[in-house]
Amino acid sequence: MELTEKPAPTDAPQSAPAGETEAASALAPKPRKAPLLRQAKSSENDKKKKKRKGGSSSREFVVFFDGLLSFLMIVALAAGSAGAYFNNIYLASGRSGEDQTVIVPNRAGATDIAEILKQRNLIEDTLIFRIGAYIGRANGELKAGEYLIPKGSSTRDIIDILRSGQSIQYGVTIPEGLTSLQIVQRLRGVDVLSGDIRQIPAEGSLLPDTYRVTRGTSRESMLQIMQRAQRRVVDDVWKRRAAGLPLKSPDELVVLASIVEKETGKSAERARVAAVFVNRLNKRIRLQSDPTIIYGLVGGQGPLGRGLTRTEIDRATPYNTYVILGLPPTPIANPGREAIEAVANPRVSNELYFVADGTGGHAFSETLDQHQKAVARWRNVEKTRSDASDDDSAEAKPQTPVQPSLSVRQAPRRPAAPAVQPQGATIR
């Protein structure tokens, strides 16, 4: 059997005839080289543009930074110059060569205050004042009132003064022993106070003292301050009163203190005078105090201005302690703290009488006999003074004799006569 070889199958394509191959090659498209070159050139150009753009941005940033730095330097220089100008005026000594008082009205703002200060030649620049108040956070803290601005005060000094609220204070002194009406009249004459008083306070409800007030304080608030002070004092003293006093309440304490206040102006005598009245109340003897008669005649109008007549002494009024037994219904004046203290803690004694001694004080006695002798001595003093007054008047005006008038705070009115309810002589 003859074996023949067959060609092995192959995947390779059969080669075409040479003629066909050349024809195909001629017809096949040739590679495009130009677009690739353009792409390469374009990429290279883009890189150059980006490089140029990056360089341009850097230059722009440098220019911007230089400009900003220059601007900031100019601002800094301007700020420094402005700061120097501000400090030069803000901290410099003021233009006023003397102390001045300035009134800052209620609800005045920094602008209004600056104008007031400028008009008074106390500051140089209103804007500097407003800026200083703003920087110092004092805009809402500049207080109304009357202020003393020392000479040479700087703008800052003035802001500090107005911010402190330490206004000029005035002392208003109310003497002891005035009636409420007299105190109201006195307050109406104090020009640093404002407003009027609608109602006269109750007698004895005001504490005489020296009070510190600022300009513009209302008279009504002044009375309220005095009333609160009186209540504090009376409450305090009443708690510390001596045992066995013939007084039922703080009100009665004030009533008797008002009588003591009107009877003597000497501080050293108040506790002793108080003891006389306390002793007489304990023994149920009429007080027989001349000031109570006068208050019953004129009320709170003030002094009588002359001596009492026999008819007035005998006239029955709710206040006449020659007629009534015990205390009058209300105080006859506004007593001070010393008189209130004296009544709450009187001197321990058996004295029942006193009369003027001619030296501004009083002679005190335990018995009616002693008292009558003291009265006789006082009458001699009175007569001597009256004769001297007549002689002086005669030399000056011989055609017009002067009749002496006796002060109810110096002269006794009548001696006492023992009765069912023992009565002493006038103790004034």
pLDDT digits (tens, 9 = 90+) for 117-150: 999 888 888 898 898 888 878 878 888 899 999 9
Distances (CA, A) of 187 to 59, 169, 174, 298: 83, 16, 9, 21
pLDDT digits (tens, 9 = 90+) for 10-65: 444 454 555 554 544 555 555 555 555 566 566 666 666 665 655 566 666 666 66
- Say if residue 297's pLDDT is above 90: yes
Q: What is the mean pLDDT of residues 330-359?
A: 95
Q: What DSSP element (H or E) covers 349?
A: none
Encode burial over 153-174: b for 16+ CB neighbours within 10 A, e otherwise. Answer: bbbbbbbebbbeeebeebebeb
Q: What is the mean pLDDT of residues 278-306?
A: 93
State residue 12's pLDDT score.
46
Measure the CA–CA gap between 69 and 77, rounded to whole angstroms: 12
Q: What is the mean pLDDT of residues 309-326?
A: 94
State residue 405's pLDDT score.
28
Measure the CA–CA gap between 167 and 101, rounded to whole angstroms: 10
CATH of 100-164, one of 3.10.450.50, 3.40.50.150, 3.40.50.300, 3.30.1490.480: 3.30.1490.480
Confirm if 196 and 127 have CB atoms less than 8 A apart.
no
Mean pLDDT score across all residues of the chain: 80
- Say if residue 332's pLDDT is above 90: yes
Encode burial over 213-232: b for 16+ CB neighbours within 10 A, e otherwise. Answer: bbbbbebbebbebbeebbee
State residue 396's pLDDT score.
47
Amino acid type, 56: S
State residue 284's pLDDT score.
95
- Say if residue 331's pLDDT is above 70: yes
State residue 245's pLDDT score.
96
- Say if residue 174's pLDDT is above 90: yes
Measure the CA–CA gap between 398 and 227, rounded to whole angstroms: 52
- Say if residue 289's pLDDT is above 90: yes
- pTM reported for the whole predicted model: 0.69
- Say if residue 186's pLDDT is above 80: yes
Q: Which of 326, 332, 255 is nearest to 290 (CA)?
A: 332
Band (pLDDT 50/70/90 cuts) for residue 66 is low
State residue 419's pLDDT score.
31
State residue 404's pLDDT score.
29
State residue 322's pLDDT score.
95
pLDDT digits (tens, 9 = 90+) for 71-124: 766 666 555 555 565 566 677 776 777 899 999 998 888 999 999 999 988 888
pLDDT-above-70 percentage for the chain = 70
Q: Which range has the worst mean pLDDT, 36-40, 210-214, 256-260, 284-288?
A: 36-40
